[in-house]
Structure 1
Amino acid sequence: DGDSGSDPEDLFNTPFIAFQTNFIGGLFNRPGNYRIYGWKNMTEHTKWIDSGSSENTGYGFGISFDQELTDIVGVFARFGWQNPEVYLAGESFSLESSWSIGAQMGGEPWGRENDIFAIAFGQAIPSDDYKDAGANLKADPESHLEAYYSIQLNDHLTLSPDIQIIWNPYGGDAALGDKAIFVGGARAQIDF
């Protein structure tokens, strides 16, 4: 039936409610965005430790910011947390929190003022209740590193090759037992 109830007749029976507040300001006379957000999922959730308890609510919050430090350097950070005691029926994994940090730099120093290089690191951290519910689970944090270079080819086309490395996928409990996953990709942006 989905995370928040996909049947239109049940739309208001199990709503997914979210809010976000964005403060636009900055530090050091530089622009920045600061966000606080929260959510509540009224769909019935089951407790990891007490699987007979299925009338529980999922909820969580997060904070994030992005801040320009100089004309060519910016940084960001994000943190999110959710109720670690519950999960949705049909799901087999539960995060308690996640965080990430990163930075980007414009290409002016190497003569490419419209290009951007960015790098970020973060972790997804499983809940203790999830760990305690599975006798053979490692349930360690999963770590992510991503880097991309955005190349503006002309006024209408930007290409961004991207690489991601995931250590300890699925908290060390991935079906294939992978130690690390490497993902390469590319994005294209066409502006009219």
Structure 2
Amino acid sequence: MTQFKQSRLEATMPFVITACVSLLCAFHSLAARADDAMPANEQWAVHGQLTNITQWHPQFRSPYSGPNSLESNGRTEETTDLTLFAGLRLWRGAELWVNTEIDQGFGLSNTLGVAGFPSGEAYKVGANTPYLRVPRVFIRQVIPLGGAEQQVESAANQLTGVRSADNVTLTVGKFSVVDIFDTNSYAHDPRADFMNWSAIDGGAFDYAADPWGYTYGAAAEWSQDWWTLRGGLFQLSGAPNAKITRVDFKQRSLVGEIEARHQWQGHPGKVKLLAFVNRAQMARYADAVELARGTGATPDVSLVRHDRSRAGFVLNLEQELTSDLGAFARVSARDGSKETYEFTEIDRSLSAGLSLKGDRWGRRDDVLGVAMVVNALSGAAQEYFAAGGLGLLIGDGKLNYAPEKIMEMYYSLRLDSHLALSFDYQHIANPAYNRDRGPVSIYGVRLHAEF
């Protein structure tokens, strides 16, 4: 299996490198033209991005492994995605956006073996050959409520224009829940900042998503002075993290968030409190374990699914400390008696970190980031995985439980206004909550271009 994986990477790498170089040259040319002719109030816009992430890890201690384990003999994998963001102003305050994307590549061990998985650009599906998909198609309507006028800069999924500070924003269509909820200025974008799943989002936030992280839904945001209220209704997959082929809200997720903005010694900060409730056919870990004891089999959550609800929360903080230094932290938890439905096997999570711009060493557009994460499982989940059960991402066949501990550090080197090269290191102790395996060091290089 390992030889096959290595040959697969070797076969695709020449294509990836050639494509990256060609596309980066095209991006740079188009971006230069766009900068020279930026309209004051855009009626339409086209943006693009290209991201390639290569990650590898050396051999690590592993006395045993299971179907969902991180492979211990050392691996190298890469992912590449090329996205086109096309937007059109429909009428006053309304925008239509369609994103098309070409994806290729695999996460380490096919995106298995670590609850806080090390690449936010690695999906739960992979392919040697590039394939086309449409991750986002949505309409956004902004309804002004008064207040100071704010300039909106041109960006991916955002047209240049002016809007009032107090407003109601409605978003309907296909997009990612975390496009709107649980955002953070310092830790939220695997194409630009941290890469680890449990650093860029609240680890226990089991948000509605297909294997690529998108779903159908609607969200409303009410912004007034120093606060914003958000609410959304989203479609859950038909089965845990399955592909979504049609609109059907029989299984659904409700999300609410309140955001408070403030100033601390002249520096801006935000505090957000998010709550979610998922309603779907899902299993209780205890039921799966009890059934397995009666039959002498390995516990299997797919045999005991019933219509149930599960709730959780995320406390999300960000604070600028100085003009070049920012801090972030998230605390998240959820009902751990039931199986993970969409995201990953994390029932409690604490993450915190710092983001430092390069002003102090004469590289003001460079960024150095450091984060620490601790992820944990509920007692019911521990019993299930210790008995050999499998989840969406983890399952070593047995479990000597310990919290999963992750340290991530990255340096983003800005090559020009449209191109950045990042170097990333992650140290993961007790991968998949198993003190018998690891620790593992994961090294990464990220190339990101945008126009």
1:145 Cα offset (Å):
0.6
Letter of the structure 2 residue corresponding to residue 25 of structure 1: H
Aligned to 2:327: 75
Question: SS at the partner of 1:178?
Answer: coil
**Is the aligned partner of 1:185 residue 2:444?**
yes
Alpha-carbon distance between aligned partners in 1 of 2:445 and 2:270, rounded to the nearest angstrom: 27
Aligned to 1:146: 408
- Tell whether the 8 Å contact from 2:239 to 2:281 is kept in structure 1 after alignment: no
Q: Percent identity?
A: 25
Letter of the structure 2 residue corresponding to residue 172 of structure 1: N
**Is the aligned partner of 1:163 residue 2:425?**
yes
- Equivalent residues in 2 for 1:46-61, closer than 5 Å: 46-51=283-288, 54-61=306-313
Question: SS at the partner of 2:347?
Answer: strand
**Is the aligned partner of 1:114 residue 2:365?**
yes
**1:70–1:88: structure 2 CA closer, same or farther, 3 Å change rule?**
closer
Aligned to 1:26: 263
Single out whichever of 62-71 and 43-52 deviates more from structure 2.
43-52
- Tell whether the 8 Å contact from 2:279 to 2:307 is kept in structure 1 after alignment: no
Q: Which has the larger radius of gyration?
A: 2
**1:113–1:88: structure 2 CA closer, same or farther, 3 Å change rule?**
closer
1:4 Cα offset (Å):
7.0
Letter of the structure 1 residue corresponding to residue 314 of structure 2: G
Aligned to 1:96: 347
> Structure 1 length normalisation: TM-score?
0.84
Instruction: Give the alignment's Cα RMSD to 1 decimal.
Output: 2.5
1:22 Cα offset (Å):
2.6
> Structure 2 length normalisation: TM-score?
0.38
Specify every segment of 5 or more residues in structure 1 that has no aligned partner in the other structure, as ranges. none
Aligned to 1:3: 240
Where is the helix percentage greater, Structure 1 or Structure 2?
Answer: 2
Alpha-carbon distance between aligned partners in 2 of 1:88 and 1:184, rounded to the nearest angstrom: 28
- Tell whether the 8 Å contact from 2:312 to 2:334 is kept in structure 1 after alignment: yes
Aligned to 2:121: none
The one-character-per-residue Cα deviations of 1:72-127 (angstroms, maximum 9, x if unpaired) are 111100011110111158x9x84320110100112122121221111000011011
- Equivalent residues in 2 for 1:31-42, closer than 5 Å: 31-42=268-279
Specify every segment of 5 or more residues in structure 2 that has no aligned partner in the other structure, as ranges. 1-237, 289-303, 388-397
Alpha-carbon distance between aligned partners in 1 of 2:241 and 2:278, rounded to the nearest angstrom: 7
Q: How many residues align?
A: 186
Aligned to 1:16: 253
State the structure with bigger RCO (CA 8 A, min sep 6), 1 or 2: 2
Alpha-carbon distance between aligned partners in 2 of 1:12 and 1:144, rounded to the nearest angstrom: 35
**1:4–1:17: structure 2 CA closer, same or farther, 3 Å change rule?**
farther
Where is the strand percentage greater, Structure 1 or Structure 2?
Answer: 1
